[in-house]
Amino acid sequence: MSTVDLTGQVALVTGGAGGIGVAVVRRLAKLGARVAVLDLDAARAQRIASEVGGIAISGDVAAPSTMPAVVEQVEKEFGRLDIVHLNAGIGGGQAGVDAALDVARYRKLVGVNVDHVVYGLCAAVPALRRQGGGKIVVTASLAGLTAMPADPLYTLTKHAIVGYVRAAGKALADDGIVVTALCPGFVDTLLLGAAKEEFDAVEFPLLTPDDIAEALQTVLAEGTPGEAWVIQPGGQASAYQFRGVPGVGGRQMPPDVVLGLV
């Protein structure tokens, strides 16, 4: 695990009062950062913020006005912003492959898992530019790199943000802003729901929130723009190696090629 000193830096964690978020907040504080904890649950956010000497903010990350207001508050309270972990997320909760689609639940899923990442990144970039750069890490999933037939809609949202991170990472690299994604396998959090019993029954190994916090520390130290880092039980976090795609004339294009309009 790479070491990193965050003394004097300020971090914002969305979904910071549950599961992965709590572990990340504690890890960032231990590394020296002052942490703002954003969560829909105000009471839980306050508990973890008080524990680490940070601040708690309550808000719906899917609302367009939330992330700009939160970034403004963090800068007002701490005078700067250096690290943003866009971690809030929910499960699909329905198949999403037939006429029984619950549109309201689908829109909520996209709002939290996708819109919040876009709103959060766009709100954070001006603040990070004011510091001459910074780090944005998005919690994605292995479902952002491969198919998850048990939850196609969740798969859709995680593929979307992995693609967004890969492109945004390149777009912001010259500003000194490093945008990366974490793509963990199954993590032992409430998001698993009833599936937790099934995993336990077959003794399927699960990641812990602390595993993700440790991986985040590695990504902060070693991540480069646009990377998606994979974390699986018993292994070390590592940057996923994307394949190239066929180019003009069928020739293979490198995986990190930057496409532009001409």
Q: What are the catalytic residues? A: 154
The two three-digit tokens of residue 130, written as one number? 């004011």
Give the closest residue to 164 by CA, choosing from 92, 110, 218: 110
Helix (H, G, I), strand (E, B) or coil at 61: coil
**92 vs 110: CA distance, rounded Å:** 9
Q: What sign does the CA torsion over 135, 153, 101, 40 have?
A: negative
Question: What is d(CA 209, CA 241) in angstroms, rounded to the nearest whole number?
Answer: 24
Q: How many CB atoms sit inside 10 A of residue 91's CB?
A: 18
CA distance linking residue 47 with residue 56, whole number of Å: 8
Residues in the chain: 262
Cα 144 to Cα 65: distance, rounded to the nearest angstrom: 26
